[in-house]
Structure 1
């Protein structure tokens, strides 16, 4: 039971630890230029530009917001050595700021060379629903290049509804176990009804938990919160690194506040001009592109369970899909003390998880080998659990709850009914013979959301902003490369940096060309020429 997610993953430690802490997926998307069903082209680009542009907010701050912009943060020890934490207030409803606050968790790692400090660098790992504070403490505050950490206070804020910032909690652990195991490839009307009921129970749980907040967790509101934080930190302009969904958040900030925009890095870019169904369809093609790259590598290795040398990626995909189909009727043991078995939905999620990072391909080969050859689904279940941020005791982070809450508010639903999904299935299955069916049905989740969407597809121009660095990876599964091209083209000052490689996002993933280009931009303001390529 996957939902729309895109999220940044680190490259430190083992494959298992890389996959666990920061893995949100945004089932929005775009076909990779190398994908089997790319729809990019003149007609597609013309269609994208038909949507309205995001309108910038007035330069002057409304007097009703002055108390928020003038607040002082009280920094305290986080309990994690070297990090400080604070709580920031923002209005629950920017249209009615006197009617209540939302409290947001903020953390920072101060510059190691304060005499050469450039200011604050705000980071966000994506999701939506990924904890920026957790990302800061687990990776950015210790893993960003030493010179960047020397010159900047690295700062994070969990967006409203996420992690430590008044989290939306829709289902408890046992109910989340049931939800993630729900069959997302219904064979008949009865199974479709079961899936719809699961979506409705999830939505009802969210409404019961956060009836007011659920109406105010949009990306626009989170971007406005970031401007309050910028002011409170004393920075005249925002310096920011956003990955995956974090690129949508950062681009939205630039669109709303182009005059307050500083050096923005948008890595693994999303395209804000696309409606939800198009996003989901294109991401589905992105996962197919990533799988084919994995399959090409797999079949050259002796331990590949999808075939040997000479096996085509298409044939490897057929073998994997046949395995998923068998699990649909006959789940296999997974060594889980709670009695969970590896179902089709959990196995599919496990494979999708490994598409985010080519460093996990060996782990995936071994997991598939255990499941397909030895009837042991434990390793694939562990990959799936990392995707959902399920801990060994059966508890879940609020990642999936926040993910749905933001996505379903930001855009109208991709599909309104099972009938619409069935009509759309051929396009999804063409985009990905392996994942198309399950990802199409997963796109139905927002149809039963208790709050009407407040957002629509739009272009972001950010007229007047300084150069904004947009980074795209050619075989990125979750934010396919054409999205980066599109966003860079929409932004009036966009500069596209292309990484020819695998995996989700590019900064800190092993390319010295990418890293040095981004570091030069952050440290010296030197933006690369538009269209620079790295490998």
Structure 2
């Protein structure tokens, strides 16, 4: 999750070595049955929760929606505490395998990421051919996201305008305007979204996943979640442990972390990744910085300070203030294979005053299209979901202390991640969730995958989640970037595929 500009930023809380060993899985796993599930649960556990019988009796009516895709919709209650009240609609799609009867539900992260988009555009390049042959890959947009009863706040023009404002939350003279504009933004979200705005929390989305499981006709759910998708998945597992089939949680979030803890860990993660990138950068001819890594880092910080005081302007006339610049700068850090592109983009900005490449990265992060439209509501959903999932302390003294600490532990990026609590302080709906352990007692084995150099979901989060869960195995990718499956090496691919397809999980503490 990159830094977010203005309202996006203020909601921020918030991608190759040898295999040590693979063995058969623990006693909790089993080979899929003909219907694609693991061992069938008892009849009592298969019953629909009281009051939700109508929702759980739905069957998906798949219809062609592209050359290889099928789409369907599903009704779920707006408020699970009042299942007889209003309902909302979820959108799903699937990439069906010719001879597969098993279903694999996926989530790309966020919060605010579209599972529909992932199935449509990323599965063929990310997932192994074996996995695609073994499963029908099912995507869905969680409630409030994309095509599933989306949160709606601003027009495309308003989003563009907000991204071009040079408002720096760490400066007292800018904070009054930020609070005023964020209050207006929250009011727009309330006016344009309605009651849904208070029900897009992760617990509700996890309950939706169980309705999806029932509609698929599966006794247990097989699932692959990335980044925030691990929090969604572990929440489901804790709510419905006996319905857990084969779960892979890649790039884990730590459910016990407070909002400020998440921000600090990410700030440190990206600061470390900057060091790693600069070490590569200064060895190349194109690097705009020179000397040791420490010297190059000072030069980078000085350049950021220049952009803070004098925003750059792109060739299409758009202003690029420091927050949007940092959004673009951060995006290539998610995958170390993109570091050379970051070096080129920074060389253009530093040496030539050309910010177009950095702005292009920022546009990708914001889902802005070439024609100026935004293809998703990811930033609005990001804010709405985060504000419900964890309480945030917007006391001015507390935010100031946090900002000071962020600048200490992450001198390059810390200030740009500070004061995120402002957005949720003016939100009409207060947090319904809180930081707590998720244990999923009695579940089948869950595979947690962590990357040692992951800046967005630091490795220690995967370690923590694997310890919290009642029955989990940690698989470690020793490398850089955010998440591991689909972008790391054959060792990770073979381990994850072996678990999902054959029920053979890696040995405890396996490393790739």
Could you tell me the TM-score, scaled by structure 1's length? 0.86
Corresponding position: 1:175 with 2:155: no
Change (3 A) 1:473 1:25: farther
Counterpart for residue 313 of structure 2: 333
Q: Kindly report which structure 2 residues correspond to 1:208-287, keeping only aligned pairs within 5 A, or say none.
A: 208-287=191-270
CA contact (8 A) 2:2 2:330 kept: no
Distance (Å, rounded) in 2 between the aligned partners of 1:149 and 1:335: 42
Deviation of 1:62 after TM superposition, in Å, equals 2.6
Q: Kindly report which structure 2 residues correspond to 1:31-430, keeping only aligned pairs within 5 A, or say none.
A: 59=45, 60-78=47-65, 80-112=66-98, 114=99, 117-141=100-124, 143-183=126-166, 185-186=168-169, 188-307=171-290, 310-312=291-293, 314-336=294-316, 339-396=317-374, 397-413=376-392, 415-430=393-408
Counterpart for residue 531 of structure 1: 509
Counterpart for residue 477 of structure 1: 455
Query: What number of residue pairs does the alignment pair up?
Result: 479
Change (3 A) 1:441 1:63: closer
Provide the secondary structure at the position in 2 that maps to 1:441: coil
Deviation of 1:91 after TM superposition, in Å, equals 0.6
CA contact (8 A) 1:267 1:472 kept: yes
Distance (Å, rounded) in 2 between the aligned partners of 1:331 and 1:4: 16
Distance (Å, rounded) in 1 between the aligned partners of 2:344 and 2:426: 38
Give per-residue Cα distances to partners, 1:81-126, cap 9 Å, x unaligned.
11100010001111101111110001011123x1xx3510001000
Could you tell me the TM-score, scaled by structure 2's length? 0.90
Give per-residue Cα distances to partners, 1:212-271, cap 9 Å, x unaligned.
001110111111101011111011111000000000001111100000001000000000
Change (3 A) 1:402 1:124: same
Provide the secondary structure at the position in 1 that maps to 2:212: helix
Distance (Å, rounded) in 1 between the aligned partners of 2:12 and 2:171: 24
Match of 1:441 among 419, 426, 430: 419
Provide the secondary structure at the position in 2 that maps to 1:239: strand
Distance (Å, rounded) in 1 between the aligned partners of 2:342 and 2:55: 47
Match of 2:467 among 467, 483, 489: 489
Deviation of 1:417 after TM superposition, in Å, equals 4.0
CA contact (8 A) 1:182 1:345 kept: no
Provide the secondary structure at the position in 2 that maps to 1:127: coil
Distance (Å, rounded) in 2 between the aligned partners of 1:510 and 1:480: 16
Deviation of 1:73 after TM superposition, in Å, equals 1.7
Change (3 A) 1:378 1:505: same
Provide the secondary structure at the position in 1 that maps to 2:460: helix
Change (3 A) 1:26 1:472: farther
Deviation of 1:429 after TM superposition, in Å, equals 0.9
Distance (Å, rounded) in 1 between the aligned partners of 2:4 and 2:355: 24
Change (3 A) 1:393 1:249: same
Structure 2, gaps ≥5 residues long: 15-43
Deviation of 1:134 after TM superposition, in Å, equals 0.6
CA contact (8 A) 2:166 2:311 kept: no
Provide the secondary structure at the position in 2 that maps to 1:355: helix
Distance (Å, rounded) in 2 between the aligned partners of 1:446 and 1:429: 22
Distance (Å, rounded) in 2 between the aligned partners of 1:316 and 1:197: 38
Distance (Å, rounded) in 2 between the aligned partners of 1:198 and 1:360: 35
Distance (Å, rounded) in 1 between the aligned partners of 2:231 and 2:463: 14
Give per-residue Cα distances to partners, 1:119-139, cap 9 Å, x unaligned.
100010000001101101101
Distance (Å, rounded) in 2 between the aligned partners of 1:235 and 1:425: 47
Q: CA RMSD in A?
A: 2.1
Change (3 A) 1:205 1:3: farther
Distance (Å, rounded) in 2 between the aligned partners of 1:357 and 1:184: 29
Segment drifting more, 418-427 vs 455-464: 418-427
